[in-house]
Chains A and B, each alone.
Chain A
Amino acid sequence: MLRKVALATLCVAAFLAGCAAPPDKPEREGFEPDGGEATGKESIRPGTDTGPAVLALLDEARGAAKAGNLNTAQLQLERALRIEPDNPVLWHYMAKLRLHESRWKEARSLAAKSNTLAGADKRLQADNWRIIAHARQGMGDERGARDAQATARALQPQ
């Protein structure tokens, strides 16, 4: 349990840090239910039009996540969302936090919300579909998970 929490915390810290994600196996077929690294090779970074206030909050969120304080990381993301409610990357990060907390339904919804704002950003959409795939698998919907993963691949062939 402790390992799981530690791993989850590390992953979230990595996501929010916007740095290179832990090495991902190319062309993954299956899923690792406890999160692991669901996404493509690199984490999604905030868009270039992201304001300095939100970037500052993301910094704080990153610090909190690194320290293992996911609750505070979540709070900073919510503050950021109040400033830029249409920023799809913020919703994407929220979805990832929920995924790591195994709150599948919320993770799926948040990823879907991010997709409604993602516009033409196929990479972000693909990553959101990967989150949806994980969430569906977490809820026992294997077929739905495969479909979501296929959508992700179609959007962003690896």
Chain B
Amino acid sequence: MARRPTRKRRQTGRRKARRPSRRAAVPRGWVRRYWKHAALGLLIVLSAYVFYLDLVIRNRFEGNRWAVPAHVYARPLELYVGMPLNVRQFTRELDLLGYRYAYQAAQPGTYSRDGSRFWVQTRPFTFWDAREPAHRAKIVLEQGHIVSLTDPTSGASLSLLRMDPVFIGGIYPAHHEDRVLVKQEEVPAMLPAALVALEDRNFYTHHGVDLRAIARAMWANIRAGGTVQGGSTLTQQLVKNFFLSNERTLWRKANEVVMAVLLELHYDKPEILEAYLNEVYLGQQGKRAIHGFGLASHYYFDREVGELDLARLATLVALVRGPAFYDPHRYPKRLRERRNLVFDVMAEQGLIGDAERDKARQQPLGVLDDRPSGITPYPAFMQLVRRQLQRDYREEDLTSEGLRIFTTLSPVVQTEVETALAHVLGRLDRRQKLDGKLQGAAVVTSTVGGEVLAVVGDRKARFAGFNRALDARRPIGSLVKPAVYLSALEQPGRYTLATPLDDSPVTLRSDAGDTWQPRNYDGKSHGVVPLFVALSRSYNQATVRLGMQLGLQNVVSTLRRLGVEREVSPYPALLLGSLSLSPYEVTQFYQTLAAGGFHSPLRAIREVLAADGEPLQRYTIRVEQVVEPVTAQVLVSALTETMRTGTGRAVSHWLPADFTVAGKTGTTNDLRDSWFAGFSADHVAVVWLGADDNQPTGLTGASGALGVWGDIMARIPTRALRTPVLGEIEYAWVDAQTGLLADRRCPEAAQLGFVKGTTPTEKTRCKPSGRSSAVDRTVDWFRGMFD
């Protein structure tokens, strides 16, 4: 800026000296004298600029050309004879995979079906350990199980079939550009041929710019009195998409031409075409920009690009001209006309025959209404995946390196959990007149290894808002009690499930002189009860007394071992669940109980692969024994009693009476939180219901969350708990009134586990009327200890 006025003054001075009266003629003289210098200077500047453009092009083309978001997959479904799976769940998985129903399943990604018999042709897929080729299989389902798995050609039985995994979403950078990279050999040959025929006939002969095409376009535009045809080559279009903005200026056009020529100088035609196939913009879904034929094929048709038929392929070629102008949902007629033009041009160029063209013209567009969202349908689970990934990966690697993340999500379980939550929650909301305020969250994991199978963080599972499953920390109420009773049972010399506990009113005084008088939920005291009854019926008074005997630090340490990582304050109210945890944290705690005292950190990710399929990282099953297995099993036997006769007994509405499960209800003050946590042999599930503003909902754990939990367990393929055969444990029938041995036919007899040598020896005679003869003596003995 400082130099320009100086030069101007000098020039003005000269002009004044020579021709003071004819100022306009001065520049001409100047040009005459200096034009060679100026031209040279311009040439130098231009050369430098071209050199710069060349550098830009080569930099972009040599390195990673695209920031490819990480793509996240569900667990692959592994089929084997005996596997629990019903027809509804299997068809849903096939739907989510985008497998197409066909009369004869001959192409990868197709299936045919006759009742509960399926013929499937799987897609090949690269996993951590191997590339799974495409398989043909016949699968027969009966009564919720696979009863036969064979190769339909040879009839030979297959031991195991790993299907490709469902794509569940991507991790996008800020500009939301999404793509699935394809190589030219993966693309049907007809696609580039059609593209060239439509967009750039001389692609294989020109050097980046096609002057004849430009002239033709100009002539067409003049005749039409506006822009109706473009003369850009595919190379120019690629350059425009790659490096330049959308503005229509001469300067941009000049850049485009120069860069197109440079690109052609450095790279061969197939390489340029492949880049074009991956770069071209083909659609928009909200903020997400759909780039490249690989992704567009998934987005519009939910199939691999290699699976595109002629009609679909032509539709995509038609969209190249303007995805918004030819939007298949807003302007289907317009798109169809353009697509049919593609057929015409293809026929004209000899790519297809006339008969083929006429047949293809009749085809519908075939664009999906319910388009697979790159913005995941499982936002709560994806959030968990992102959090776990962020421990090991940088944000920019997640959004640009094309990582492939294999997670533990089971779409089968997730769908059932979403349905159960929405269904029960809607009903409860109406019944309690909560005006849609009732919210809920649920987490389901596999007992083995703590794999997270499903996460729902909102009553509207697709809503990616506040994730209650991970972030809503609420007091857990009686869910804490198993930790209190486990602390007791870890002293088998002192406590067994039959040990009498005093459930009379209790008053605690703090050092400051405050008093605390916890009450039972029903407002009654139950006198002396066996320990397992106090747990299964969730008596507060007995629990507080027991916890104080054990010592609060003892209970805190048990919680810590079970997997509660959050700071826990050793106040007496802890014994009734003043501790606030998220449903996810509660799941970790109950996971350890379900696994028989073995702690496994919950995992949402199994493996991470680089874009080229190279294995990067594996998150293995980790198991640590934190409780003696025998003690854990003793506790589990009491938690099954909760479900049979205690606070969880309403589960019989959902599960058959002989289907053994274990669990615990949780309710907080004024019925603000309704919890249920429990497990079968294969699954741990935790459900929370409540209102975001923490207002009472009128629901207890049993009248609220248990309903969702029961519905989940009834829907998912899971097995009942079985009585483990451990050397150190024995099972006995015990009377719920007295804690003495009882006949199994007694009305209040419960089958419970005992560490060998601690089983009650005295037997009681049960009477239909209730109290047995030995009860008074037991009470006397108990009172004698504490009075």
Contacts and interface: CB of A to CB of B under 8 A. Distances in A.
Interface of A: 51-53, 55-57, 60, 64, 71-72, 74-76, 78-79, 81-83, 85-86, 94, 105-106, 108-110, 112-113, 115-117, 119-120
Nearest to B726: A116
B129 A52 contact: no
B621 interface: yes
A109 B681 CA distance: 19
B620 interface: yes
B724 A116 contact: yes
B81 A105 contact: no
A55 B159 contact: yes
Contact of A78 (B81, B596, B621, B681): B621
Nearest to B75: A82
A83 B625 contact: no
A82 B445 CA distance: 12
B395 to A, nearest CB: 27
B623 A110 contact: yes
Contact of B446 (A57, A76, A82, A120): A82
B78 A83 contact: yes
A75 B625 contact: no
Given A56-B159, A108-B625, A109-B623, A82 B448 contact: yes
A112 B81 contact: no
Give 4 nearest A-B pairs by CB, closest first.
Answer: A53-B80, A52-B159, A85-B448, A56-B159
B629 A51 contact: no
Query: Number of contact residues on B: which range applies?
Result: 20 to 34
Contact of B682 (A57, A85, A110, A116): A85
A113 B82 CA distance: 24
Contacts of B129: 60, 64, 72, 75-76
A120 B726 CA distance: 9
Interface in B581-634: 596, 598, 607, 615, 618, 620-625, 629
Given A52-B81, A109-B598, A119-B725, A81 B159 contact: no
Contacts, number: 79
B621 A94 contact: yes
B160 interface: yes
B447 A85 contact: yes
B159 A106 contact: no
Contacts of A75: 128-129, 607, 618
A16 to B, nearest CB: 15
B682 A52 contact: no
B411 interface: no
Given A116-B596, A119-B725, A74 B620 contact: yes
A76 B682 CA distance: 19
B446 A106 contact: no
Contacts of A85: 446-448, 681-682
Contact of A109 (B448, B607, B624): B624
Nearest to A117: B724
B482 interface: no
B69 interface: no
A48 B447 CA distance: 24
B449 interface: yes
18 contacts: A51-B80, A51-B81, A51-B159, A52-B80, A52-B160, A53-B78, A53-B160, A75-B618, A78-B621, A81-B448, A82-B446, A85-B446, A85-B681, A85-B682, A86-B681, A94-B621, A112-B598, A116-B724
A94 B618 CA distance: 15
Contacts of A113: 596, 598, 623, 625, 629
A81 B82 CA distance: 15
Interface in B39-91: 78, 80-83
A94 to B, nearest CB: 7
A43 to B, nearest CB: 21
A3 B513 CA distance: 68
Contacts of A120: 725
Contacts of A116: 596, 629, 724, 726
B682 A106 contact: no
A125 to B, nearest CB: 8
B40 to A, nearest CB: 64
Contacts of A51: 80-82, 159
B82, B451, B607 pick with most chain A CB within 10 angstroms: B82
Contacts of A55: 159
B609 to A, nearest CB: 12
